[in-house]
């Protein structure tokens, strides 16, 4: 199949929210294929990596379908890739859960760790503060739906490489809510569960795949 502006692959590696992400992308105007086929994942105009659950188990699932090599090739070729929730977290260098360190994909600098808040998970609607010019969150004050206990806590390494960073706050602790760097875009929140706000975000990403 030849890639087109709306040609999006959702990577099927056994994660639990693949179908909800697929439906949301279709609603956003993309032609979507849910597949683990390596060639389709490499060549699609856009690749989406959702994820729920533990960092280590998601990395195991991604490794089983050859995702580390596929994503590295996409980044090298400047092909857009979107990570959601744990699919966002695994783009970083490592995740630390219950004292266990798991190597991530290493496509972004930083560590995913437990949010040091008294009440977890961080679940529900929250605002996010984007850097100027951000595609993902262009209007401060919009609400997004979060479900997580772990996140990237320090945005400094991302800013060092020139990434656009969006932050949110949970019980006084600021965490990374979204990142944009070259062909990579990723978010800790769930756009597919964020109603009209998430739908607009996904439409902006799908439209950004069109070079015209």
- Residues with catalytic annotation? 85, 190, 192
Q: CA angle, 139 as apex, 45 and 151 as ends, to 5°?
A: 70
How many Å separate Cα 172 from the centre of its chain? 23
Q: How far apart are CA 127 and CA 144, in angstroms?
A: 6
* CA pseudo-torsion sign 189, 195, 200, 205: positive
How many Å separate Cα 173 from the centre of its chain? 20
| Best CA proximity match to 57, nearest among 120, 21, 107, 100 | 100
Are 104 and 90 in contact by the 8 Å Cβ rule? The answer is yes
| Best CA proximity match to 82, nearest among 10, 154, 12 | 10
Q: CA angle, 75 as apex, 185 and 205 as ends, to 5°?
A: 30
Q: How far apart are CA 150 and CA 161, in angstroms?
A: 22
């Amino acid at each position: 199949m030849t890639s087109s502006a709306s040609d999006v692959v959702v990577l099927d590696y056994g994660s639990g929210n693949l179908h909800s992400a697929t439906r949301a992308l279709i609603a956003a105007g993309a032609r979507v294929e849910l597949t683990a086929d390596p060639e389709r994942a490499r060549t699609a105009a856009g690749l989406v990596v959702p994820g729920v659950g533990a960092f280590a188990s998601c990395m195991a699932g991604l490794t089983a379908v050859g995702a580390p090599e596929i994503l590295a090739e996409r980044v090298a070729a400047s092909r857009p890739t979107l990570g959601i929730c744990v699919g966002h977290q695994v783009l970083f260098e490592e995740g630390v859960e219950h004292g266990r360190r798991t190597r991530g994909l290493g496509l972004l600098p930083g560590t995913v760790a437990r949010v040091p808040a008294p009440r977890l998970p961080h679940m529900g609607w929250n605002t996010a503060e984007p850097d100027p010019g951000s595609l993902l969150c262009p209007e401060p004050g919009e609400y997004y739906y979060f479900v997580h206990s772990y996140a990237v806590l320090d945005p400094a390494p991302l800013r060092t490489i020139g990434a656009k960073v969006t932050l949110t706050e949970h019980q006084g602790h600021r965490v990374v809510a979204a990142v944009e760097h070259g062909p990579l875009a990723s978010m800790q929140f769930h756009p597919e569960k964020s109603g009209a706000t998430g739908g607009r975000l996904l439409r902006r990403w799908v439209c950004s795949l069109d070079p015209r």
